[in-house]
Amino acid sequence: MFDIQEIRSQFSILDREVNGKPLVYLDNAATSQKPNSVLEVCHAYYTELNANVHRGIHTLSQLATEEMELSRRKIQRFINAEHDFEVIFTKGTTEGLNLISYILTQKLQKDDEIIISYLEHHSNIVPWQLLCERTGAKLRVIPIDENGILQLDYFDKFLSEKTKVVSVNQVSNALGIVNPIEEIIARTRKNTDAYIVIDGAQSAPHFNIDVQKLDCDFFVFSGHKMYAPMGTGILYGKREILEALPPFHGGGEMIATCSFDKTTYAGLPFKYEAGTPNVGGNIALGAAVDFMNRVGHENIQNHENALLEYAQRHLLEIEGLKVYGEKAKRTGVVSFNLEGVGISSDVGMILDKMGIAVRTGHHCTQPIMEFFNIAGTVRASFAVYNTFEEIDLLVEGVKKAQRMLS
């Protein structure tokens, strides 16, 4: 049974006030709040287990290692990876994408092509631009229509023997649009042997992920958007690909042998986990997976989709309000502007005075904003602990901002 009040009771921060008003937190696409069960795991690590992992014979090191590797196995099951060593701990989606673009350097040469989409976060644009600068490869971008929907006819035209990488997000952070990645992967497999990279930063918090069913080569996501601490994330990569590619960072943990003459590298996953990891955070990421499993993926998805439908319906009753991507399949996000209000941050500041936290600006997706000829949007984004009553407060807040700013 889905009990929203019981779920909310697990998030202590939701009891606080902001500017004398009860907190209404609708900035979950930027980062989610953390349940007490996750915070307790963080506290327990630093007060009971604090030690480096994989390197110590003493009890604390052994226990910390066991807990972090247990977390890795939880995440393996969470995304249905075939092997736990295909799960690489990172600092987040951005590091994962930079890691992939770097280790693929030797696989590209001049005039090869990398395909991304117009809906990408800057972290799925800039690393590929840097790879193009290193190799002489070229970037091709799948366009969108006026609803923000990818134009796959262009994607078909782009695919060729020159295509070496296809990297797209599963869900747009700016608009919440759910992209047809199954179709993109199928078309890529049919026509090329390109590496397929999926940015799952905005999909992992909202619905079930199965990397084997998807048949992607890489899948990356952040922990802090799915109820885990900041500075945590996951890179999934197929075993045979990760084993064949070079390491990213050099240092401790990722070596098998090291001498001044030659260094050999450790096996997976340690080959890509140089240095001391965020042990407490990585263990807490497993606790966040436990939380989501207890609530249930279907319950999370159904509740958040209901919030989205309710929010969009009532926001669109406001005269002069435009929702971007209104007619596209979406999850977790409603992104909008008010006619006659040129700066989205003005709306955000008024909402903040009412205790309502939203995100404003370009959301690290400047090409999307340029396409719609706007500077930014107001973005409300939802998590499992949000309520319909909070949506009502958002709608009333937007109406107040409209009266004040028009």
Q: Which active-site residues does the annotation give?
A: 364
User: Distance between CA atoms of 133 and 214, rounded to whole angstroms?
Assistant: 30
Nearest to 358 by CA among 337, 375, 384: 337
CATH 3.90.1150.10 intervals, the chain: 4-30+297-405
User: Distance between CA atoms of 111 and 140, rounded to whole angstroms?
Assistant: 11
User: Distance between CA atoms of 264 and 266, rounded to whole angstroms?
Assistant: 7
DSSP 285-347: HHHHHHHHHHH-HHHHHHHHHHHHHHHHHHHTTSTTEEETTTTS-B-SEEEEEETT---HHHH
pLDDT of residue 142: 98
Contact, 270 vs 53, CB < 8 A? Answer: no
DSSP 53-96: SSS--SHHHHHHHHHHHHHHHHHHHHHT-S-GGGEEEES-HHHH
Could you give the strand order of the β-sheet that contains 359-361, starting from the edge strand earlier in sequence?
321-323, 333-338, 377-381, 359-361
Nearest to 200 by CA among 75, 357, 309: 75
pLDDT of residue 343: 85
Nearest to 353 by CA among 23, 4, 94: 23
Dihedral pair phi/psi, residue 331, rounded to 5°: -150, 135
User: Distance between CA atoms of 373 and 386, rounded to whole angstroms?
Assistant: 31
Q: Given CATH 3.90.1150.10, say whether it is the number of domain 4-30+297-405.
A: yes
- ∠313-353-398 over CA atoms, to 5°? 20
CATH architecture for residues 39-293: 3-Layer(aba) Sandwich (3.40)
Radius of gyration of the chain (CA): 22
Nearest to 177 by CA among 203, 152, 156, 204: 203
User: Distance between CA atoms of 232 and 91, rounded to whole angstroms?
Assistant: 4
Q: Mean pLDDT by 10-residue block, N- to C-terminus, for the chain (406 residues)?
A: 95 97 98 98 97 93 97 98 98 98 98 98 98 98 97 97 98 98 98 97 97 98 98 98 95 90 93 96 98 97 98 98 97 96 92 98 97 97 98 98 93
User: Distance between CA atoms of 253 and 233, rounded to whole angstroms?
Assistant: 18
Q: What is the largest CA-CA distance in the chain?
A: 72
- Residue 79 has, within 13 A of its CA and on its CB side, a CA count of 36
Tell me whether the omega of the peptide bond preceding residue 269 falls within 30 degrees of 0, making it cis: yes
CATH 3.40.640.10 intervals, the chain: 39-293
- What is the pTM assigned to this prediction? 0.97
pLDDT of residue 90: 98
What residues are paired with 177 via a beta bridge?
Answer: 330
- ∠118-330-181 over CA atoms, to 5°? 55
Phi-psi category of residue 54: left, alpha or beta, with phi > 0 → left and psi -120 to 50 → alpha: left
Helices (H), 143-278: 152-158, 181-191, 211-214, 239-244
Tokens representing residue 320 in the block: 């002069």
Residues listed for the chain: 406
List of long-range contacts for 245-251, beta carbons under 8 Å, 24+ apart: 245/103, 245/104, 245/107, 246/103, 246/106, 247/103, 247/271, 247/272, 247/274, 248/99, 248/102, 248/103, 248/272, 248/274, 249/274, 249/275, 250/274, 251/275
pLDDT of residue 56: 85
User: Distance between CA atoms of 193 and 188, rounded to whole angstroms?
Assistant: 7
Surface-to-core class of residue 55, CB atoms within 10 Å of its CB (0-12 exposed, 13-18 middle, 19+ buried): exposed
